Chains A and B, each alone.
Chain A
């Protein structure tokens, strides 16, 4: 008898767990992209897109529903959207979060707090700053095959493997909370029929203070991390050449004491030249040397310009401060920040062009 009771109890434990309230994917509004603009009276205008699954007969087409609300804070946006949606909202799959440039310049601190606090958000999601209205960018569907979120997510992800430095939510938070470094985000721009990555926005304490156009992004990535992709073109003699990076390595070295620090940034690049436009010569060792020299000069000039800009704006997206902190015992943040604008940073570039393609 006792065993029977126990048996029934155990069986019901297993079976009754199926009686939990559940929601099927079709009935949940899954937000994958959200954009925030400045609204009227210090409020936030949030726009989200909700993909509609299983509604239309045509499987290839992606339909989306766009909702725009005015709210007081980020979490309030979620609340307001719930008021407009017929099905329960789920934010767990949020893949891209966009902010208008106006808003980024005013400061994103309140938003960053939500991003780091909410356990439901993925650390692999992307943040980006939009030139113009973030809501506009979300609302204009670009292709029939993809939703806007897939489009933008794919755009940032592919480019992170090429010219743009990696920038997920985790990377942003790492630099935002860390000492002696400042975060950056990709900059998006809406064109007539497509979205493009137009540069990088630099932040100081959650406020966007500066940006660089996409032509300088390669140099920034080269200074920031090791990578083996990306392309850079350069006018050379009467034409132009295109370089294909096959392995770039960067190394920081700190010299001197904390009172008088100096930095050395060593970059070594291996590259192929795949386009020689308007050049009427066959490749030879001497030409290679000339090309290498042209690139080295170009990168040095660009890098020094970037560093000069960082010093003027007192931002440290390269994380030199955090590097100094791990190398010197007597690191002092306020002292470091005082020294930073006059810091002596020497950029050395070493370049090797190995191949010229399959056609001479």
Chain B
């Protein structure tokens, strides 16, 4: 019947689909989040000022991963839940899908608490997390209950709002020392690769394709847009990193917790003295789709596994996000959660090629049986 969506096993009515070009915004806005505000420090700790090579390597790896994801989805049809069911059967597959759900939940939650911490440290030291969290989660609930198309719209807005902030990189470059970026590679390959691993962590977000793929109209055409998005993200990260290299000295950067926000401090207009306040406020729009899409992905999986209405799941998850908000405080805890979710994301990335291999094998076995 529906020739446009040729994924087997899962049919989404056409009125819920989005056009292929929106995949650009979906992938890019999910990749750019709170990570970009302070990723420089971790890279420089590992590979010094050679970390820009690591960014390029990480970008290359992600293109390969993206190719694998598309290969998996195009052959398998449907989403990750469907593929798990095909490869592992109903119970093990369901369990693995729930692991993905836990990971998406963790990702959304990490973004939420990290952003609240940024507001606390930089703008309002006395901010009550539970009040701000309540209002923010109300907004998130409103957007997520609007469905996938609304979330796509939020992603579009977030990419557009993020654009003018990029222009502000001009100020730190002006105040900095361009002499210090000179391509001398003084770190060995293991250090550069470990920094690459670190930067993969801040690039996380494209694995959400595994769950929203059936919502793309004419998904084959979206492939190039997804690759554009990954390329664009890599460039944004590369520029941000080079700008902080120009602006800070190496040893100094190792001690700066939020490299990008600290660099906003030098921005000065006649009508506004502290730009970082404006920047952080605008960053809410960049962070919002991260939380929304994370929550949507996290609730979509149990819906597909257990056939529960997504609406109830969203309410339950929102409450689940809300309760621990007041208790999680302080840099060490939040840093630990960030590191943990980064590690989890790294294993998810490693898991994708494994899944692809298993899928190909199981397809071959099945074909032989059919003969």
Contact = CB atoms under 8 A, between A and B. Distances in A.
Contact of B49 (A13, A252, A323, A326): A326
Interface string B112-123: 000000000110
B250 A179 contact: yes
Nearest to A116: B255
A90 interface: no
Contacts of B339: none
A355 to B, nearest CB: 29
Contacts of B175: 168, 170
Interface core residue of A252, A323, A326 (most chain B CB under 10 Å)? A326
A326 B179 contact: yes
Interface string B245-258: 00011111001000
Interface string A179-216: 10100000000000000000000000000000000000
A175 B182 CA distance: 18
A122 interface: yes
B179 A323 contact: yes
A327 interface: yes
B184 A173 contact: no
A39 interface: no
A124 B250 contact: no
Interface stretch (B213-221, B265-273, B313-321, B353-361): B265-273
Interface string A305-335: 0000000000000010011011111110000
A92 interface: yes
A157 B49 CA distance: 31
B2 interface: no
A298 interface: no
A300 interface: no
A123 interface: yes
A124 B184 CA distance: 31
A216 B250 CA distance: 30
A174 interface: yes
Interface in A157-185: 168, 170, 173-179, 181
B252 A326 contact: no
Given A13-B135, A170-B175, A119 B268 contact: no
B252 A178 contact: yes
A177 B184 contact: no
Interface string A2-34: 000000000001000000000000000000000
A174 B268 CA distance: 19
A122 B251 CA distance: 21
Contacts of A179: 249-251
B186 A329 contact: yes
A181 B248 CA distance: 13
A170 B122 contact: no
Given A122-B274, A123-B266, A170-B266, A178 B182 contact: no
Contacts of B186: 328-331
Interface string B273-316: 11010000000000000000000000000000000000000000
B185 A329 contact: yes
B250 A122 contact: no
Given A119-B121, A122-B265, A170-B266, A322 B184 contact: no
B362 interface: no
Contacts of B268: 122, 124
Chain B interface bracket (under 10, 10 to 19, 20 to 34, 35 or more): 20 to 34
A322 B273 CA distance: 31
B179 A174 contact: no
A245 B180 CA distance: 26
Interface in A240-270: 252
Given A122-B274, A174-B248, A326 B182 contact: yes
B184 A178 contact: no
B126 to A, nearest CB: 10
B146 to A, nearest CB: 14
A177 B122 contact: no
A92 B274 CA distance: 9
B249 A174 contact: yes
Contacts of B181: 326
Contacts of A331: 186
A179 B44 CA distance: 14
Contacts of A119: 121-122, 276
Contact of B184 (A122, A123, A170, A327): A327
Interface core residue of B249, B268, B273 (most chain A CB under 10 Å)? B249
Contacts of B262: 123
Interface of A: 13, 92-93, 116, 119, 122-124, 168, 170, 173-179, 181, 252, 319, 322-323, 325-331
Closest 5 pairs (CB-CB, A-B): A178-B249, A177-B252, A326-B182, A329-B186, A123-B265
Given A122-B273, A174-B177, 12 more contacts: A123-B262, A174-B248, A177-B249, A177-B255, A178-B250, A178-B251, A181-B249, A322-B249, A326-B49, A326-B184, A329-B186, A331-B186
Interface of B: 49, 121-122, 135, 175, 177, 179-182, 184-186, 248-252, 255, 262, 265-266, 268, 273-274, 276
25 contacts: A93-B273, A116-B255, A122-B268, A122-B273, A123-B262, A123-B265, A123-B266, A168-B175, A173-B252, A174-B248, A176-B252, A178-B251, A178-B252, A179-B249, A181-B249, A319-B177, A322-B180, A326-B179, A326-B180, A326-B181, A326-B182, A327-B182, A328-B184, A330-B186, A331-B186
